[in-house]
Amino acid sequence: MRKAIIAGNWKMNMTPSQGVDLATALMPLVADAACDVVICPPFVDLVAVGEAIKGSNIHLGAQNMHFAEKGAYTGEISADMLKELRVEYVIIGHSERRQYFAETDETVNKKVTVALDKGLIPIMCCGETLEQREAGITNDFVSGQVEKGLSGLSAEQVENVVIAYEPIWAIGTGKTATKEEANATIGVIRKTIAKLFGEKAAAQVRIQYGGSMNAKNATELMSMEEIDGGLIGGAALKPEDFAKVVKF
């Protein structure tokens, strides 16, 4: 059985003091969670929020990282910097990073590789646009993203990757794929992994749904066989709502 994982992506929200308040309010609400609980604050919040959640069952994640160890990359953050802050997870290849900051499948692959090498757990994102879904190419497109993103990894490494399927048309729009649509596409992702890395890796890897999962629809989405968790946006900024998702 794969252990479910619910991760909150705060995006560019919450100052350090606001982040501490949010984390402090969240901790007692999810203390008895049966799933892995992860929060991913902005970089400037990591120290303060990390201290606030120390000793709790909440894991700390970052929203991005660079693939270089160090160097002239103004404004970037390395894996070693995250590790020293006790970060355990890192989101890689979110559609907003791809859309606004020129992330490619190749840079995603470099970041996933480095994250694993440094002992971080990557949450690798993939997903199609509305135009691609309407054109009937969702399966091929998403499979291609997964294949390129995991290129060069061993089956053992892939088992430690979390994949987030996030249809771009359902992020921050209030729209969501039906539970059947989400389950079917995640099933395609799992079959892609089985083809590339074997049935064991496919059975082990956890695949989240990341398209506007919230307190109202989490139960039905999490009831589906292929869906192992959620990458949560807006609902992650409200402790009570996020806790309801965690306790789906």
Q: Tens of pLDDT along 115-137? A: 999 999 999 999 999 889 889 99
pLDDT over threshold 80, residue 175? no
Q: Residue 131 corresponds to which amino acid? A: E
The per-residue DSSP string of 55-81 comes to TSSEEEEES---SSSSSS-TT---HHH
Give the mean pLDDT of 91-120.
96
Q: How far is CA 57 from the centre of its chain?
A: 18
Domain residue limits at 58: 5-11+18-246
pLDDT over threshold 80, residue 31? yes
Structure-token match 């709790």, residue found: 56
Q: Which one of 94, 96, 103, 159 is the catalytic residue?
A: 94
Give the domain CATH number at 142.
3.20.20.70
pLDDT over threshold 80, residue 53? yes
List residues bridging with 13 in a β-sheet.
none
Q: What is the mean pLDDT of the chain?
A: 95
How far is residue 184's CA from residue 181's CA, in Å, rounded to a whole number?
A: 5
How far is residue 187's CA from residue 146's CA, in Å, rounded to a whole number?
A: 13
More confident residue, 212 or 98: 98
Give how many domains the chain has, as a whole number. 1
Helix (H, G, I), strand (E, B) or coil at 127: coil
pLDDT over threshold 80, residue 52? yes
Q: Which one of 96, 103, 128, 166 is the catalytic residue?
A: 166
Known catalytic membership, residue 166: yes
pTM value? 0.95
Q: Tens of pLDDT along 213-245? A: 899 999 999 999 999 999 999 999 999 999 999
Known catalytic membership, residue 94: yes
Q: Could you tell me what percent of the chain has a pLDDT over 70?
A: 99
pLDDT over threshold 80, residue 174? no
